[in-house]
Amino acid sequence: RRLMFEVARRADRVIAVSQSTRRDLIDHLACAPEKIDVTLEGVRPEFQPAPPRAGEPPFLLYVGRRDPYKNLPLLIEAFADVAVAVPAARLRIIGPPDARYPEAPARAAALGLTGRIDWVGYAAPEQLIANYQQAAAFVLPSQHEGCGLTVLEAMACGAPVVCSNVSSLPEVVGDAALLVAPGDRSGLARALTSVLTQPTLAADLRLRGLARARAFTWEQAARETVQAYERAGSA
């Protein structure tokens, strides 16, 4: 923590990946506002939609680590409610297992959901993209995200998005996702059930997400990063 304060103090310029992160730098590291540049992240061109495969059960997709701020146990609890409303639905979790955080698998076992959840572990890039493309919805219930790159990737692949209404996520998704408070189990379950059971809503979110994701490019991020270095060089 001391090192982070010292780095923030010494840096000529600081690049933040969202306005939310900029506020965190100011509020928590006492970083001077005038030396922070906001450069949003982008989506690689291979993240794009594909025709859905027929005959497969609908699945909700989560991509990420199991750290506590990711709020994965709450997602498991909300999925228990979704599973009652939509018996065919499954939950697919992509991300490395972590023995430090056993809460989510333990919660799934306690709720009798072990057979309804696919713990994929690490996914190669092409496998990750295919899962985004085929997901009935992508869900990110995090308590905090610096940018939320996975929601951008999901939207670019045509997945309807349900995510938390805190930190950078509303800034990134705009009006292209259903937003839920990170502690609201029933609200999360209702949002996911709505996407699974209302094709018109899912189609609308899909179109909004595709349009929103197109505004985030690595070319723009590169230009803004070069500009930040130029400002640092002229300081």
Q: Report CA dihedral (214, 34, 167, 205) to the nearest 10 degrees.
A: -20
What is the pTM for the complete model shown? 0.95
Structural tokens at position 214: 């197109």
Structural tokens at position 1: 């923590």
- What does the pLDDT profile of the chain (235 residues) look like in tens digits? 899 999 999 999 999 999 999 999 999 999 999 999 999 999 999 999 998 777 789 999 999 999 999 999 999 999 999 999 999 999 999 999 999 999 999 999 999 998 999 999 999 999 999 999 999 999 999 999 999 999 999 999 999 999 999 999 999 999 999 999 999 999 999 999 999 999 999 999 999 999 999 999 999 999 999 999 999 998 7
Between CA 2 and CA 171 the distance in angstroms is 29
pLDDT digits (tens, 9 = 90+) for 44-70: 999 999 987 777 899 999 999 999 999
Grouping H, G, I as helix, E, B as strand and the rest as coil, residue 78 is helix
Structural tokens at position 39: 């450069």
Which is nearest to 181 in space by CA: 66, 71, 62, 68?
71
